[in-house]
Structures are given as C-alpha cells and as structure tokens.
Structure 1
Amino acid sequence: MTDDAAAPSPEILRYAAFATRPEGGNPAGVVLDASGLTDGRMLAIAAGLGYSETAFLTPGQAAGEYRVRYFSPLTEVPFCGHATVAAAVAVAEHTAPGRYVFATAAGDVPVEVERGADGLLRATLTSVEPKVEEVPAADVEEALALLGWAAADLDPALPPRVAYAGARHLVLAVGTRARLARLDYDFDGLADFMRARDLVTLQLAWREASEVFHVRDPFPVGGVVEDPATGAAAAAFGAYLRDRGAVTAPVVLTLHQGEDLGRPGVLRVELRAEDARVRVSGTAVAIR
C-alpha cells in the first residue's frame, strides 16, 4: 500500500459544472490520475477542497476508459453527476473531445464530450438503469418536519418517491417557487434521516412549465448544506417524472439550480422512448 506521507501530491483541477462561468454551477475537484492514492488520501483531498465532490480517475486498459471514485468532504459516494461532467471536460481538455466510459461504483457510465458553437465543452452522461420506489408515509412526514415544511406545501401532482439513477434521492415537489426558495433545515437531523435510508440528497423541485423545473438538493450526509447543481439527482428526477407519467418520452427537460445560492446553473435532462436510462448534459469551465 502507498505511504500517503511519502506519496507525491497529485495535480488537483477545479471546474464549475453545469455553468458557463466559474462563479456559477457546482464546483468539483478532479484528479486525472489517482493511481496509488489510498482511500484516506482521497478523502483528505476532498475535505481540503471542501467541494460537494471530487472525482478521482484511474486510467483503464483501453483508451477512453477510466475507473472513477467520488468523495465528498465526509464520505465516498457511489456516483456524482456534476463531478462526472467536470471530469469528462477535464479529460477532453487534456486529450481530445470524444467518448469515454467511466467505471463507477454504481456501474459503467458512458460520457460524450463535444465542443459547442459557443466554444465551450459540453459533457453528456448516460445513467445506469434507473428505478423509482414508493416512500412510507411516516418517512415523508419526518422529512417534512426536518425541512420545516408542511404537507400542504407539496404538489399533489408530483407525489414523493425515492428515485435512483446511480444514487438514491428522495424527491419532494412543492407547489410554489416561494416555498422552494425558503430552505432552512435541521442539518444534523436530516443527515441522520438520510443515512438511515441510504439517501445521497433530497431532490426538492418546483415545476415552472411542462418541461422546466427549479430544483434544490440538501446534502448534509456529504458535509455540505446544499449542492448547487446535482447531475445524479437530475438523472434520478428524470426517471421519476417518466415513472409518474408527468412527462412523455422522447423529451428534453431543463432544470435550473443554484439560483438561490448565487451560483446559477442549467442541467439538460433527456429521456428517450427506446431507452430507460437518462442522459444528463451540461457545460463545465475551469476555475483558475
């Protein structure tokens, strides 16, 4: 095993995902070659950065293949969408845009990076097979109490569910944008609630139009009050909307996130009729 004290420090890149400028979207750390780093060293790097997640890549046997692990400041998570987008753009900048396969703890995630007409690199990830589960009424009641919300705040057309597309998220949709904007929750209590149910974030959502949503993601289990732009939750949310019949594939959804934190970002979610997997795309820019 590598001695962390003796091992050289890896190059740590910083990107803002789902944004066109460094001040927007969700910051992520990226280590392009984590060969030889122990779990403890990766966790320490992620904690030192303080971002929601840092992606650690190890090149695979074939070109374009990478093993990827994701660490928050407190723990490892099975999959992270915004760090995937950031890592894919970082790989493209250091090699060339193209198609990659990220081997994650949740499964293989294909990612394609293209350069847009605006000159920015855009990454599109394809989720693992998603699933949606019922939520016990007692769990919904407890989650609402921890958020300081009431059952009357929820949108009856979009009932609570747990959705998965690489990580588990509790989806709670509210009836007004004003309710979504007011978020002041019991950090420790919600963290305990989520750990007990293997939840990575809560996907809080408000529907502005048929294909446009505003979302927020508390992330206390990762040591972060709120995730500014959440690709894994966006993929799970797309699966949730399809499962509930709230949208009909093929469809492209626009999710706005981070506005209430002063870090606006945009996530594009694509559902295809012939494939249950969800595609999430966005730009990423380097934080210098």
Structure 2
Amino acid sequence: MTQYPFSQLDVFSALPLKGNPLAVVHDAAGLSEAQMAAFANWTNLSETTFLLPPPEGADYGLRIFTPSRELPFAGHPTLGSCKAWLEAGGQPKSETILQHCAAGIIPIRRDGTRLAFRAPPLIRSGPAEEETRARILAGTGIPAAALEAVEWIDNGPGWCGALLRDAEVLRAVVPDYAALGGLKLGLVAPAPSGAEWDFELRAFTSSYEDPVTGSLNASVGQWLLRTGVASGDYIAAQGSALGRDGRVYVTQDGGEVWVGGDVAACIRGTVEL
C-alpha cells in the first residue's frame, strides 16, 4: 500500500456543503487504471479525479472517473482539480493554466477568487428528434406547452438540453428515470423576476440528479448565447432541489465561452491505495 495526498472539495460554491463534491488524489502516477476505477467506485461521488505528471504542452494531467466509468471531460472536476493542484503548490507556466485530460487541453484561468474553464466544443448538436422530445415529456411530466426547445448539446458526457418557459415548472419536475431511458438531460429556464441569477438548471443522469454540473453549464451556455436566449454574461443557479446552492458564472470572451465558479476546500489528508 502507498500513501497519496488527498483532497475533497466543494465546487461551484464558496461555502462547503452547498456545491458539488469532488475527491482528488494527488501524485497518482503510481496507480493503475483498475485502482483508479476501484477508488472512484468506493468514494461513490459523481466524479473522482487523479492528478498526473503533465504531458508536453500542459501544466498537469488529469483522469476523471465516475463510480462506473472514465470520462473524457467534466466541468466541476476540472475546476476542483485545478484548485487542488494550485493549493498543493502547482505553478502554471503562463497566466492560463493548461489541464490535459482525455478530451485534450482544457484552458483554465483565474478570475479573482474564482476559476473558469473554456467550454470545449460540442461533439453533437442540433435539434433533438421527436422521439427524444416525447421521452423527455414522459420522463419529466413537463407539459408540452411549457417546453420551448430541445437540442443535443453534447460536449462529451452525452447531454441533451431542454429549454423551459418557466422556472416553477423546472422546480416541480420529479424525474422518471425508467421513462427517460438513460438520457442525460439538462433542464434550463429563465429565473423568476427579482432573482439574483439569470437562469436555473437541473441535470439528470441515467439514475440520479447531479447537484451542480460544469459540463452541462458549458454546453447550455454555448446554446443560449448562440441562439440569443442569453444576451451576454450571466449567472446560473443549480442544486436547490437537492438542498444545494450552486452558482455558475458564464462569460464570453472573443467568441469563446468560459464557465467559472468558486471552489471551497473541505478535506485534506492522505489515502492508502
């Protein structure tokens, strides 16, 4: 058994316990893929990551695992892992931090106390099929008249996005995962008048609701800004249905979309693997 430095952080919240938790194993080059997968299964968090030596052109390497599989990219693990790497003494080669994961190089920048990653390109886009729309209606109970648009907005995990007219309808959804049939669904709606944020989101995987989701917010941001639903930089809220209070800051810079948020450190120590 070998001891590895370990961090657990809360992403998209400045306060612990209000965002999306992430486990990070540092200096993980000595671990096999099977060990990484087994530890991620054991933590039972939505994602666990492993910091690795940097390939050429990057500041650090990263592998991202759910309890059941490896992901090429995910948003909250990107920000949380970067925060853990910086707090452990990581020194980027330039002002922009370069993370290497299976999806390639992901640029990250510091914006005051927050970190932000550049949204990766979509690998699937465009209007969803009528069968997918029908599956969403059956699996969420959303009235057909409340559904503004349905599009594929997949940047790796498989997201399909549904734009609703009313945040109250979004908040009332009780998902039927069997009816959704494994669809990874992101719901988004404009915030009610007077809210301190602009849009609300919920994210449903094949079997659970994710508290605050970086990859979904990245693809939703590209979608809303491209179609004019969002006219500029905005704040998204996510997690209230689960007792969380996540905030995601979506900005544009020269045509690029950046997704930012706070990260709160919760646990530091070692793990034996």
The alignment partner of 2:31 has SS state of coil
The alignment partner of 1:47 has SS state of helix
CA RMSD of aligned residues (A): 2.3
Structure 2 Cα separation of the partners of residues 33 and 230 of structure 1? 25
Contact 2:138-2:179 within 8 A present in 1 as well: no
Contact 2:182-2:205 within 8 A present in 1 as well: no
Contact 1:165-1:239 within 8 A present in 2 as well: no
Total equivalences in the alignment? 260
What 5-or-longer segments of structure 2 have no aligned partner? 268-273
User: Deviation digits for residues 1-52 of structure 1, max 9, x if unmatched?
Assistant: xxxxxx5253331000010111111111112222132222212212222211
Counterpart of 2:63 in structure 1 is: 69
The alignment partner of 1:12 has SS state of strand
Structure 1 Cα separation of the partners of residues 12 and 83 of structure 2? 11
User: Deviation digits for residues 134-166 of structure 1, max 9, x if unmatched?
Assistant: 211111101221223231231x3xx11011344
Where do residues 91-102 of structure 1 align in structure 2 (5 Å cutoff)?
91-95=85-89, 99-102=96-99
Aligned-residue offset at 1:212? 0.8
- Does residue 254 (structure 1) correspond to residue 235 (structure 2)? The answer is yes
What 5-or-longer segments of structure 1 have no aligned partner? 1-6, 195-200
Structure 2 Cα separation of the partners of residues 63 and 135 of structure 1? 37
Contact 1:111-1:125 within 8 A present in 2 as well: yes
User: Deviation digits for residues 189-235 of structure 1, max 9, x if unmatched?
Assistant: 43x432xxxxxx31111112798100010123xx5x11111111111
Counterpart of 2:265 in structure 1 is: 286
Contact 1:89-1:122 within 8 A present in 2 as well: no
Match of residue 188, structure 2, among 183, 186, 205: 205
- Does residue 35 (structure 1) correspond to residue 1 (structure 2)? The answer is no
Structure 2 Cα separation of the partners of residues 278 and 97 of structure 1? 25
Supply the AA of the counterpart residue of 1:134: P
Supply the AA of the counterpart residue of 1:152: A
- Does residue 149 (structure 1) correspond to residue 132 (structure 2)? The answer is no
Where do residues 230-241 of structure 1 align in structure 2 (5 Å cutoff)?
230-241=213-224
Contact 2:51-2:61 within 8 A present in 1 as well: yes
Supply the AA of the counterpart residue of 2:175: Y
Structure 1 Cα separation of the partners of residues 217 and 229 of structure 2? 15
Structure 2 Cα separation of the partners of residues 126 and 37 of structure 1? 29
Supply the AA of the counterpart residue of 2:182: F
Structure 2 Cα separation of the partners of residues 245 and 228 of structure 1? 26
Match of residue 160, structure 2, among 166, 170, 174: 170
- Does residue 268 (structure 1) correspond to residue 249 (structure 2)? The answer is yes
Supply the AA of the counterpart residue of 2:261: G
Contact 2:45-2:66 within 8 A present in 1 as well: yes
Structure 2 Cα separation of the partners of residues 9 and 55 of structure 1? 16
- Pick which of 140-149 and 230-239 moved more: 140-149
Structure 1 Cα separation of the partners of residues 15 and 71 of structure 2? 26
Match of residue 214, structure 1, among 179, 195, 200: 200
Contact 1:107-1:128 within 8 A present in 2 as well: no
The alignment partner of 2:133 has SS state of helix
Match of residue 242, structure 1, among 196, 209, 225: 225
Match of residue 111, structure 1, among 108, 112, 118: 108
Where do residues 115-194 of structure 1 align in structure 2 (5 Å cutoff)?
116=112, 121-130=113-122, 132-154=125-147, 156=148, 159-190=149-180, 192-194=181-183
Moved over 6 A (4+): none
TM-score by length of 1: 0.82
The alignment partner of 1:193 has SS state of coil
Counterpart of 1:197 in structure 2 is: none
User: Deviation digits for residues 235-279 of structure 1, max 9, x if unmatched?
Assistant: 10011112323234xx2110001122111010001123x33x320
